Chain A
Amino acid sequence: MDVALFIPCYVDQLAPSVGIATVEVLERVGCRVRYDPGQTCCGQPFVTAGEWSQARRLARRYLDRFAGADAVVCPSASCVATVRRRYAELSLGDTRVVKEVGARTYELSEFLVRVLNRPDVGARFPYRVALLQSCHGLRELHLGHPSEAVEIEDSAPGPTEAVLRAVRDLELVLPDPPDECCGFGGLFSVQFPEISTRIGRSRLVALAATGASHVTSTDASCLFHLEGLGRRAAFGPRPIHLAEILAWSEER
């Protein structure tokens, strides 16, 4: 399958290894990966900042770049949620294109499970790993069941959990509470640094209490926040992006 890669600006600049791992995983499951260097940002920071005219410029750019792709895969749930859920609110004109591109833009684990039906990518990672659910992944992309959604009786794990459970020798654990926000929130983390770090520290304590050596997430941004807190406090499990775990295999 031909896959267009969307490596969001912050991953490109700050977590390039996550992008490389994504390529490795996709190639391993037989995808032909195409990367268009004309891409930059989906516009999420401008959506959350309320600067919607700027967000529209970047959203149109994204739509132009990816309009022809069968599948766009991105290792960041919040960016995918922006494309799929928020673009519709920006009044971008051609609603058909917005809808189509949104429906064909996938978060990595979502793509592996829901499109390829390949939760097992042949990875091995012999560690206890705590999962930090991305809020946007959980509630906007339905990559798992949020704990407050008590009406959902479906007990099958969502795609993020499914790909992790398929990794050999990986022991998956969830913090308590299982899916509270890490306190990052993009712009929020610098507009409300005290609150952001209060939330993050409490998550870090909950994650450490699981005894995990690593913490993983679909979103590198949440991990930056926890990593930054953990480094300052010399405390907590080591952050590793989901794609990096999936790229880890026996022969490496």
Chain B
Amino acid sequence: MSLPLDRAARVALPTTESVQHHETAVADLRRRRDDALARVPDLQALREHAAAIKGHTLGDLGTYLERFEEQARAAGAVVHWADDAPAHNRIVHDLLAERGVHRVAKSKSMLTEECGLNPYLEARGIEVVDTDLGERIVQLEGEAPSHIVIPAIHRRRQEIGALFHRTVGSPEGEHDPVVLTEIARQDLRRRFLSAEAGITGVNFAIAETGSLVVCTNEGNADLGMHLPSIHIACMGIEKLLPRLEDLPAFLRLLARSATGQAITAYTTVVTGPRPGGELHIVLVDNGRSRLLADPEQRGALACIRCGACLNTCPVYRRTGGHAYNQTVPGPIGAVLAPAFRSDREASTLPFASTLCGSCSAVCPVGIDLHGQLLAWRARAPFGGGRIRWVARLGAEVLARPRLYRLVGGLARLAWPLLSRRWPGNPANAWLEGRELPPHPGASFRSRFRLWSQGSRSREGSRSRGGSGE
């Protein structure tokens, strides 16, 4: 009965050590987030302000998109619209092919991951080098990012040392992060200089000025958009903010929520192409306008991809991002899954939450993540047929106190049987790694009857709580 994510977790983080490493690394990000945000005065007001701006923008997105397009064009950029991932990939490829580009330096962009741009371009003879260090690591490893901010967070330094030795010729046994970073930097510098085009993601776009805002810690996006003469920026249509003065609230929240930094090391506002260069902006829908039309779920479009909900999630901490089998993992990924995918696996992801609510509590823009997970569940109750039938039966029993008492009595008779694993035992999933509680004895309702008849049997509270007194 276990669902796909449960099985995938055993593959994504297969050993106790790998789980512990991931758990520690991710929990550390959450701690840094706590420390950084604790120093922000009026944090709650700041979050509400940011949420209100997002809500307002999404409420009138069409107008802001038109305004943005107009202003970006006026500044000299070329704006392209893509309905879906294939259209996005085609647009980017055409731009590169028309200019005879064979080497591209790409900075971090979850959107291009979502669209599968790298394999698309590589299949057409264009070499794409991911220039964010974490993205570079997963690219060399031949895997997808497992976290939306720290793509290689699931990899330990020893693994990265071995990978670099295999792929970029670092000395064998070297796994000092500083040395490895320097080696990657030298390798990437060479590739930056030979790249003929730069592709970047976009963190925010400003409707009033037609500007793009790109945040990185490595400056790699800045090199990518300034060294080659062609810059292609790929963004989801939900990234808009109305005015430049709306930006600071988001910059204050983004880096603090993500890594605990006050601000990302490089925060670049780009308006139009650099002199003599070209700037192309690809605006991608890929399911977003459908989500926007869904009043119960549209809140997820406010997401600024800080990763705070991943970092605090007890589930994500123990599964790793790859187990989710999609670009965005964690609570926000589970909310987006049924909006963007129609397969059965996607419909099970909203169940991959204990509903502890920590995701909603850390979200800097106030997305009710666990509420939205519940709303998805109500639309597509898990498993259809069999579970439906079991639920129906359960409710029939619980709606009839006498029947409920009878079934409870039978279960208590069967307790010794239920407590052992045998094929077909309904308690098997529970018994995976756990015992059932000891036989509970008589139910509360029957004990209470004795109690109220004056016998005041104390036996009840002793049997479980016993500390040997």
Contacts and interface: CB of A to CB of B under 8 A. Distances in A.
Interface residues of B, number: 87
A155 interface: no
A195 B5 contact: yes
Contacts of A199: 314-315, 317-318, 354
A24 B462 CA distance: 12
A202 B440 contact: no
Interface in B415-455: 429-430, 432-437, 440-445, 447-449, 451-452
B253 to A, nearest CB: 12
Contact of A181 (B314, B452, B469): B314
B394 A54 contact: yes
Contacts of A225: 434
B170 to A, nearest CB: 33
Contact of A9 (B30, B404, B442): B404
Nearest to A243: B461
A144 interface: no
A54 B465 contact: no
Contacts of B442: 16
A146 B3 contact: no
Nearest to B412: A13
Contacts of B381: 49-51
A3 interface: no
B163 interface: no
Interface stretch (A99-107, A113-121, A158-166, A244-252): A244-252
A201 to B, nearest CB: 8
B257 to A, nearest CB: 10
Contact of A16 (B382, B430, B443): B443
Nearest to A229: B434
Interface of B: 1-3, 5-7, 9-10, 19-20, 23, 27, 30, 34, 37-38, 43-44, 312, 314-315, 317-319, 351-358, 360-362, 371, 374-382, 387-388, 391-392, 394-395, 398-399, 401, 404, 408, 411-412, 429-430, 432-437, 440-445, 447-449, 451-452, 457-458, 460-465, 467, 469
Q: What 7 A-B pairs come out closest when comparing CB atoms?
A: A185-B354, A50-B377, A228-B434, A20-B460, A197-B433, A19-B444, A244-B465
22 contacts: A7-B448, A9-B398, A20-B444, A37-B401, A50-B374, A50-B382, A136-B355, A139-B356, A139-B358, A146-B358, A146-B361, A148-B361, A181-B354, A184-B354, A188-B351, A191-B1, A192-B352, A194-B432, A196-B354, A198-B19, A227-B435, A228-B435
